[in-house]
């Protein structure tokens, strides 16, 4: 169980880094581009992200997190809850519908709305994943 808990901590940390990079660099960079350029770039990113490497890290971390939570520590359950709810559920329920709407509508007007809605919720994903990584690190010390 120790190894799974460490893998969960590393996966959560990796995903925290991905979401942090979007919050700290990618989205501010796209915001500085012209709206048409930012929109086009984000649409390309949304297509590119659906790939085996990212999906394995993203969903594999969820699976490992849930299994590691059964190690019996409260910290492990907290880590799994933070990751699954703050990353996977938030992505599926909040970000994916906005990404789909960006693809369908693809207007400059929607791009402005997209940035206002998408970015703050991405901050939540980054913080939740970082919290999950910390929780799994604590859980590992308790095993």
Q: What is the pLDDT of residues 3-43, one digit of tens each?
A: 999 999 999 999 999 999 999 999 999 999 999 999 999 99
Q: How much of the chain exceeds pLDDT 70, in percent?
A: 100
Shortest CA distance to 82 belongs to which of 126, 139, 50? 126
* Cβ-contact 99, 46 below 8 angstroms: yes
- Give the angle subtended at the CA of 114 by the CAs of 29 and 98, to the nearest 5°: 120
**Rounded percentage of the chain residues whose pLDDT exceeds 90:** 97
The candidate with the shortest Cα–Cα distance to 102, out of 52, 49, 51, 55, is 49
The string of pLDDT tens digits covering residues 13-24 is 999 999 999 999
C-alpha to C-alpha distance for 2 and 71, rounded to whole angstroms:
8
Q: Is the pLDDT of residue 55 over 90?
A: yes
Query: Which residue from 18, 35, 15 is spatially nearest to 26, judged by alpha carbons?
Result: 18
Q: What is the pLDDT of residues 56-79, one digit of tens each?
A: 999 999 999 999 999 889 999 999
Say which residues have a Cβ less than 8 Å from residue 2's Cβ, sequence separation at least 6. 71, 140, 143
For residue range 114-134, list pLDDT tens digits in order: 999 999 999 999 999 999 999
Cβ pair 62, 83 in contact under 8 A: yes
The whole-number pLDDT of residue 71 equals 86
Whole-model pTM over 0.85 = yes
Taking the domains of the chain in order of start, what are their residue ranges? 2-141
């Amino acid at each position: 169980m120790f190894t799974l808990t460490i893998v969960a901590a590393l996966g959560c940390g990796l995903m925290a880094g991905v979401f942090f990079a979007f919050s700290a660099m990618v989205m501010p960079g796209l915001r500085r581009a012209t709206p048409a350029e930012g929109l086009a770039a984000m649409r390309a990113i949304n297509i590119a992200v659906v790939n085996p490497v990212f999906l394995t890290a993203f969903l594999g971390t969820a699976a490992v997190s849930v299994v590691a939570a059964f190690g019996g520590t409260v910290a492990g359950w907290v880590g799994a809850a933070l990751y699954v709810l703050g990353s996977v559920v938030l992505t599926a329920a909040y970000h994916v519908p906005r990404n789909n709407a960006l693809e369908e509508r693809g207007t400059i007007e929607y791009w402005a709305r997209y940035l206002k809605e998408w970015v703050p919720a991405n901050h939540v994903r980054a913080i939740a994943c970082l919290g999950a990584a910390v929780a799994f690190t604590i859980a590992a010390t308790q095993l």
